[in-house]
Structure 1
Amino acid sequence: MHFFNRVTLQTPESVELDFTLAGIGNRAYALFIDYIFLSAILLVFLIVWAVFSIQLVALIETIALNNSSLNLWLIAILSLITFSIYVGYFVFFEAFWRGQTPGKRYVKIRVIRDDGRPIRLQHSTLRALLRPVDDILFLGVFLITLTRKEKRLGDLVAGTIVIQEEQQVTAKTFSVSENAEVLANKLQMEADLSSLLPEDFAVIREYLQRREAMIPEARTELSRKLAKQVKEVIALENVPPGVSANLFLEAVYLAYQQQSST
């Protein structure tokens, strides 16, 4: 019996990752929190807009200009800005918080791409533009309930899914070298390990668990590709001379674990 809806994604490096889908309850809770924040932002804007509109209308009347169409223009501009704030809220946070809004961060869920990678600006924009259709027409509720990967219309178009964040790091079932432990201590001081997402860590873990079963050529190629990507993610300028890709990935694995346990 499965109490949570699990999904398996394959990364561009041909590594399979298992995730727990967020579920409609968690997503609705996160959206409720986001709408509280969004309502507060819109309320502040509407107060400022009302003050500005009243002063503008008074100014037009003072200089005796024709203001018959001014109210229509103000309403049109108000509608456009309000919609931009509505869409921009979700675009901004999901794009720059790597798939999370304040509500999603509180509920501990995250939006990722169908290949397990973090979403980009274009994905968050597509999701946000289609959110009114999903919310107002309740289409999103039906699609999340009926589709296997619990996707609303915005997810289907953008190629994204919403998952629960991993709360605990799985214990390793492989050995690491002593040199990796030394390098891990150095990485904690020189690298930005906080930029490494649980999904990124899971890719490293999957590789380290499966590397012994790979042929040497495939292991070498994959380890170099992963090491290069991880180095960019953690903003590490230089890797010590003589450190292999395997050793580097072991060190990152240990450093991430040590940081997560503190």
Structure 2
Amino acid sequence: MHLFNNVKFNTPESVELEFTLAGIGNRAWALLIDYHVLAVILVGFFTAWSIISVPLGDFWVDIFGTGVTLWLIAIAFLVSFIIYIGYFVFFETLWFGQTPGKRVAKIRVVRDDGRLIGLQQATLRALLRPFDEIFFIGAFLIMLGRREKRLGDLAAGTIVIQTQTATASATLIISEQAKVLYEQLIEIADFSQLMPDDFAVIREYLQRRSAMSLKPRASLSLKLAEQVVDIINLEKLPELVTPDVFLEAIYLGYQKPEF
């Protein structure tokens, strides 16, 4: 495995963009954080389960015998497994390939073609995670594979890349109107169709627009907004919203930074 392994995506305009794969170190750091969050959730669940099941178990034992206790234990372990799987499915679907740990580690799961993952890919990755981690299959596959894929990545057709951050010299301002619009778009738009290169172009425009003259800026922002409308399956630009505000909302939808 290379120290910094890169993957390249070709845009429809034949522009080649390069991203750095996350690597086992970043992925382990993200997983460690996620397991701490999961531990808190599971401790809360087992505490609540104990409070509820002990008196309930005593009641049912008096009726059906001691076999009920085994059923209650089995149910508790089944629910804890669902929580374990559901944690990764929920966050990777809702946060477009990121969990709390991945967000801190600044890495993201995307499909092999660079598009954002959906529920199907997140579920496949989560279901195969126990095999990857318990038997250390994932660690070996990541270290030995050219694209650093664990078993779940191979099955789901995904890779894990480092997220790109804006340069310090660039100015990127997100308006309050864009934040409100994002909350509306997330309900009606298909953000999973956006690719990293789409986001990269939007981010580049938002960073450099202040240095552009008004006419070229208006023309470019409208062109980008119309292209994004087609990509995320909207009929048209939202009414009473400027292309700039729309692009800012799209930026939020992909990057989801903390403000």
What TM-score, normalized by structure 2, do the two folds share? 0.70
User: Aligned-pair distance for 1:223?
Assistant: 7.0
When the two chains are superposed, the root-mean-square deviation of aligned CA atoms in Å is 3.8
Q: Distance in 2 between matches of 1:107 and 1:164?
A: 8
User: Aligned-pair distance for 1:202?
Assistant: 1.7
Q: Distance in 2 between matches of 1:103 and 1:189?
A: 27
Q: Which residue of 1 aligns with 2:212?
A: none
User: Aligned-pair distance for 1:11?
Assistant: 5.3
Alpha-carbon contact 1:8-1:19 (below 8 Å) kept: yes
Alpha-carbon contact 1:30-1:103 (below 8 Å) kept: yes
Q: Distance in 1 between matches of 2:126 and 2:13?
A: 29
Q: Which residue of 1 aligns with 2:238?
A: 237
Alpha-carbon contact 2:226-2:237 (below 8 Å) kept: no
Equivalent positions of 1:98-247 (< 5 A) are: 98-168=96-166, 188=175, 191=178, 199=196, 200-203=198-201, 226-229=227-230, 236-238=237-239
Q: Which residue of 1 aligns with 2:53?
A: 53
Q: Which residue of 1 aligns with 2:85?
A: 87
Structure 1 residues 67 and 203 mapped into 2: Cα distance closer, same or farther (>3 Å)?
Answer: farther
Secondary structure of the corresponding residue to residue 65 of structure 1? helix
Q: Which residue of 2 aligns with 1:73?
A: 71
Higher Rg: 1
Question: What are structure 2's unaligned runs of at least 5 residues?
Answer: 206-222, 252-256
Alpha-carbon contact 1:204-1:226 (below 8 Å) kept: no
Structure 1 residues 41 and 15 mapped into 2: Cα distance closer, same or farther (>3 Å)?
Answer: same
Q: Does 1:7 align with 2:7?
A: yes
Alpha-carbon contact 1:11-1:115 (below 8 Å) kept: no
Q: Which residue of 1 aligns with 2:218?
A: none
User: Aligned-pair distance for 1:168?
Assistant: 2.4
Q: Distance in 1 between matches of 2:232 and 2:83?
A: 36
Paired amino acid for 1:9:
F
Alpha-carbon contact 2:202-2:224 (below 8 Å) kept: no
Alpha-carbon contact 1:11-1:117 (below 8 Å) kept: no
Q: Distance in 2 between matches of 1:57 and 1:3?
A: 54
Instruction: Give the % identical residues.
Output: 52
User: Aligned-pair distance for 1:51?
Assistant: 1.8
User: Aligned-pair distance for 1:40?
Assistant: 0.7
Paired amino acid for 2:90:
F
User: Aligned-pair distance for 1:98?
Assistant: 0.8
Secondary structure of the corresponding residue to residue 123 of structure 2? helix
Q: Which residue of 2 aligns with 1:21?
A: 21
1:177-196 per-residue CA deviation (whole Å, 9 max, x = no partner) reads: xxxxxxx99x9565458688
Q: Distance in 1 between matches of 2:69 and 2:247?
A: 60
Q: Which residue of 2 aligns with 1:40?
A: 40
Secondary structure of the corresponding residue to residue 110 of structure 2? strand
Q: Distance in 1 between matches of 2:240 and 2:17?
A: 27
1:1-35 per-residue CA deviation (whole Å, 9 max, x = no partner) reads: x8521110235776533111111000000000000
